[in-house]
Amino acid sequence: METIDITGLPLPVSRVGLGTWAIGGWMWGGSDDNRAIRTIQAAVDQGITLIDTAPVYGFGRSEELVGRALEADGRRDRAIIATKCGLEWRDGKVYRNSSPRRIRQEVEDSLRRLRTDRIDLYQVHWPDPTVPIQETAATLRQLRREGKIHAIGVSNYTVEQMKVFRDIAPIHTVQPPYNLFERAAEDEILPYAVDHGIAVLAYGALCRGLLAGSITATTKFAGDDLRRTDPKFHQPRLNQYLAAVTAFDRFARKRFGKPVIALAVRWILDRGKTVALWGARRPEQLEPVVDVMGWSIDNEGMQEIERILVETVKDPIGPEFMAPPQTSDMRAVA
């Protein structure tokens, strides 16, 4: 397992982190507790040290499962728990709240659910325009002084918002959407992170499964699975993305002897001081992680990837549909 060091964290951080949103079940058509626990344990047992979760994932369920999974056999000491704050929910509706009062409440709830006395990495999940960023930053700075959290991260923040935050408290990690199909982070966030020594935790590394290579035009998603409303999964766009996946897979196998899932994640790792957050809810979904390690994509390979993208995805669309509403507007999702 390749690793990087991130200031403030007690262990080297594996370059693939486990994402546990789907494990919470909510917006993913449900999940199975026992399988989820086995997935988290399998991740740690194969050297994945970073486990990314959030209170909102299943409204506490994901954190609870992470806590239960890590409690057994000393896994807590081999794992870095990254959780988040700043989203609130009422009657299943989610909205932003990064007020000091909300964060103080959340940190206690998370520590209890996670069955731990410290959160290794605490990240603001979404910027909340109704609360001054300085207040949010000062709250995290204080929690760090108290030893409840060790390192600080932000997610879905712009560079401007990060600058304001960093006047008050350090930022050790930033978590934007970033994968072969969602690259807005390249404009400003990645260069800013490089300049300021901030590690990038790339979320949606598999573009919600598209880049895993097993989704087809006839794949059906159950219940509240977000891919039912994700514009990438609707025709005619879906066929463009699937054509890209097919071309990537052919190229990756011929050139590197690897499947598309390994190419997609390796591509993220070859873009800087990055960690790819890989969402999984079944242990076997993590088996291909080993294919990602120990090689890299050369310049020619990078150029071929660009060529494939331009040739196949004529009408790209980003992940903006996932943004949660602000306090005054409780219509949408997280």
Is the CB of 69 or the CB of 147 nearer to ligand NAP? Answer: 69
> How many Å separate Cα 134 from the centre of its chain?
24
Q: Supply the minimum distance, in Å, between the C-beta of residue 199 and ligand NAP.
A: 14
CA 261 – CA 94 distance, rounded (Å): 31
CA 115 – CA 276 distance, rounded (Å): 25
Q: Supply the minimum distance, in Å, between the C-beta of residue 167 and ligand NAP.
A: 23
Q: Supply the minimum distance, in Å, between the C-beta of residue 66 and ligand NAP.
A: 10
Is the CB of 39 or the CB of 139 nearer to ligand NAP? Answer: 39
The answer to whether residues 155 and 175 touch, using CB atoms and an 8 Å cutoff, is yes
Helix and strand element counts for the chain (H, E): 9, 12
Q: How far is CA 155 from CA 16, 84, 124, in A?
A: 17, 9, 6
Which of 131, 139, 124, 221 lies closest to 173 in space, CA to CA?
124
Is the CB of 148 or the CB of 208 nearer to ligand NAP? Answer: 208
Active site residue 57: yes
Is the CB of 131 or the CB of 153 nearer to ligand NAP? Answer: 153
The answer to whether residues 84 and 116 touch, using CB atoms and an 8 Å cutoff, is no
For 40, residues 6+ apart whose C-beta sits below 8 A from its C-beta are 18, 20, 23, 51, 65, 66, 69, 70
Q: Supply the minimum distance, in Å, between the C-beta of residue 181 and ligand NAP.
A: 10
Look up residue 127 and give its two tokens.
């910027």
Q: Which residues pair with 52 in a beta bridge?
A: 19, 82
The contact set with ligand NAP (CB under 6 A) reads 19-22, 52, 125, 155-156, 175, 203-209, 212, 214, 261, 277-281, 285, 288
Is the CB of 83 or the CB of 298 nearer to ligand NAP? Answer: 83
Q: Supply the minimum distance, in Å, between the C-beta of residue 12 and ligand NAP.
A: 19
The answer to whether residues 176 and 155 touch, using CB atoms and an 8 Å cutoff, is yes
Q: Which residues are catalytic?
A: 57
